[in-house]
Structure 1
Amino acid sequence: MKRMLAGLLLGSLSTVGGAQDAPKPACAAVDAGLPDDLVVWKDRASLAGSRLAVGRAMTVRLRPIAAVQYAAPPERPGAAGTYGATLTLDVARAGTYRVALSDRAWVDLVATGRTIASTAHGHGPACSSIRKIVSFPLRPGRHTLQLGGNAKDRIAVLVTPAQ
């Protein structure tokens, strides 16, 4: 009886361990199969100021979090030793917009001094360098995109209308 119980216990432990170690899919090429609305992700340019353009992927240089002045208090302030930035974005048409990031930075969007609640969160497509996508309902006008808590001093950003 003891042997049977020990066997059942060991068998169940190996099943649990196996479920946690599911293999990741092998990728022939990173960013090769991006959907049409994200294909511009592959053609990133370095941002030479603080203004993003909808539909254009940019690599942004971040500052130490202590040096960043936010337009509104971030929902999750970055820890000491992390990086962040504030960027502006002009939106021409009302709608849902997605912010794609290459890293796990916290992202807030601010308009007229108030933080806009996000409507969806997710990961980028499989086999892509997009790590995070957050959706926001935006109205026409100028917005401030706030980044914080990033481990690196650079991040790729793309803001695009949701499809």
Structure 2
Amino acid sequence: MILAALLLAQAAAPACPTTPAALPAQLAGWRTSGDDLASGKAVTLDTWDPRTVRMLDVPLPQRPGRAANRAFRIKTSGTYGIALDQKGWIDLYRLRETTPIASTAHGHGPACSGIRKIVRFALTPGEYQVVVGGLDSPRAKLLLVSDAK
């Protein structure tokens, strides 16, 4: 009986189309690779085991699993999101600080977009460090999303 219910639930889940759906303008960079989070393009990072790595000025995630980090610069005040392709914890810090910035919202990306979550922050001009923890994959894809209209 339980197996039948699981199979029915699995069959009812909508399949994603082979052609990806259009993304809103603020997420358009998700499908373009870049090296700099502030470029508006997605950045794919190698993840590492925080139990075996010690880095100066980078707070280590407290969640089990792999981690990734990247510094970036914000030039204009506003609300920005960090989009992630997998489950994980997104923490944001001013560069060389150890107190995380409080998030203002959490959400998901559009269905079938490959964006698992987006965490938003109110930021002012300056340098920041995103630290993502609790990852399962050897690589993580991130995008800095500007909510500016």
TM range (shorter): 0.7 to 0.9
| Structure with greater proportional helix content | 1
Per the alignment, residue 44 of structure 1 pairs with 33
Select 2:110's aligned residue among 116, 122, 125: 125
Q: Which structure: larger Rg?
A: 1
Q: What do the CA deviations read for 1:77-117 (whole angstroms, capped 9, x no partner)?
A: 121xx211221010001110011000112110001512100
Q: Secondary structure at the match of 2:100?
A: strand
Structure 2 residues not aligned, in runs of 5+: none
Structure 1 residues not aligned, in runs of 5+: 1-16
**Whole-angstrom CA distance in 1 between matches of 2:54 and 2:15:** 38
Task: Verify the 8 A CA contact 2:60 2:131 in the aligned structure 1.
Answer: no
Q: What do the CA deviations read for 1:12-66 (whole angstroms, capped 9, x no partner)?
A: xxxxx69x93822232236432111112111124x4xxx5324121111111121
Select 2:77's aligned residue among 90, 94, 109: 94
Cα-Cα RMSD: 2.5
Q: Would the alpha carbon gap of residues 68 and 54 (structure 1) be closer, same or farther in structure 2, given more than 3 Å must change?
A: farther
Q: Secondary structure at the match of 1:146?
A: strand
Task: Verify the 8 A CA contact 1:123 1:133 in the aligned structure 2.
Answer: yes
Select 1:147's aligned residue among 100, 115, 132: 132
Select 1:21's aligned residue among 2, 5, 9: 9
Q: Identity, % of aligned pairs?
A: 36
Task: Verify the 8 A CA contact 1:91 1:142 in the aligned structure 2.
Answer: yes
TM-score (norm 2): 0.81
Q: CA offset at residue 73 of structure 1?
A: 5.7
Q: What do the CA deviations read for 1:115-157 (whole angstroms, capped 9, x no partner)?
A: 1001111111011111111101111000011111101110100
**Whole-angstrom CA distance in 1 between matches of 2:140 and 2:24:** 21
**Whole-angstrom CA distance in 2 between matches of 1:108 and 1:71:** 11
Select 1:136's aligned residue among 107, 113, 121: 121
**Whole-angstrom CA distance in 2 between matches of 1:73 and 1:83:** 11
Q: Would the alpha carbon gap of residues 30 and 103 (structure 1) be closer, same or farther in structure 2, given more than 3 Å must change?
A: farther
